[in-house]
Amino acid sequence: MLLPAHAVGACRDREIGVEDSGTYGWRTVRDRYAWKYDTREKMGVLSFSDVKITALSADAALVVGRWRLERKTDKPHGRFSLIFRRTAAGWRIVHDHTSAAEP
């Protein structure tokens, strides 16, 4: 699955917690992302592989897998785990833990 890295935010819950940075709340997550990836070149193209979805209940799921960012200058990659919750607006990420592999 390939998508522009900035598109990932579309399914985030307002109360999201991002463990690798200790960031909480969608606005804070979005602002940190905009600061860190302020150009298209820095954003690159994000892809996911080895994605496994485990239902935790009728309204919650755990998603784990690998991510890779394709940019002109580098190709960072790593693993992620996400907890999704079904809301009235659809499935939303409520918890994100992403780690990068050593370069």
SS3 at position 49: strand
Q: How many domains, the chain?
A: 1
Per the CB < 8 A criterion, the answer to whether 103 and 76 are in contact is yes
pTM given for the model: 0.67
Q: Which domain holds residue 75?
A: 5-100
* Per-residue pLDDT tens over the stretch 14-39: 554 444 555 556 667 667 667 776 77
Q: What is the CATH number of the domain that holds 76?
A: 3.10.450.50
For residue 90, the model assigns a pLDDT of 85
Q: Within its chain, how far is the Cα of 9 from the centroid? A: 7
